[in-house]
Structure 1
Amino acid sequence: MLRTWTKPLWFLAVFVALAGCSTSKEKLLPHDKRTMLNIWHEETGGSPQGGQASRQLLDARQSLRRSFDHQDQETAQVTNTTYTRTAQTEIQRQFHRLPNPDLLMYVFPHLAGTDPVPVPGYTTIFPLYQRVQYAMPGERVEDY
């Protein structure tokens, strides 16, 4: 029973395959003596010798150009670095460091050790929290 409806599909597949092979390459892709350079010049309106259209296009481009001196180059480089994404800036933007204020502590002069040795007074600095804390992505850190 399965054979009765699959037999026409088999003949149809063979017919389509044979019909696809019956076309010629020359009919589908005609080959003439034109090169890619000739096709390019025809499609862009120019000519290999530099015609009027290509001359006008070159003049229009020249009028739009401006000088790019050393100062412009430095300015462009600084401007581009503000937009450049690096791994460091991505982490800093997603995980903001929470403020960890530094505490100043004055240690008064004292005696230290088993043999009482005098230690002069000094000032030391240490962070309030032992570890650096990070905000989760999307957590507000502006009001801290």
Structure 2
Amino acid sequence: MHRIWTKTLVALFVVSLLGGCATSKEKLMPHGEHTMLDIWEQETGGSAGGRRAARQLLDARQDLRRPLTADDQQATPAANATYTRTAATEIYRQFHRLPNPDLVMFVFPHLAGTDPVPVPGYTTLFPLYQRVQYALPDERTEPY
């Protein structure tokens, strides 16, 4: 009974494999009248149709842009100054360290070495994270 199922599955696999090979490449992936160069020029603005698409993209971007107000123009130097290093801001930490809690582990009494020497139980301390992690300039570091 097991052998009949095995032969049936093998036959079904072979028939499906041969059926896949019977499909022609032209039928599966037909060629159009455009070459790859034509498509590239059209999408990158190299031809007249591409230039028209590029112009539409620029017009859409222009619609999304807004002019800077007087308040924006006055606030820009102050915002840029917060990221500039000066003697006054050199001691200010912009990237704060993230908390790295210490884990306490108790090692039970055991025998160690080639000559079984008793080692008494002891407590050891190690950090949770292997490396020091830093927060981004405006990232919150205190607990919520």
TM range (shorter): 0.3 to 0.5
Select the structure that is richer in helix.
1
TM-score by length of 1: 0.39
TM-score by length of 2: 0.39
Structure exhibiting the larger radius of gyration computed from Cα positions: 1
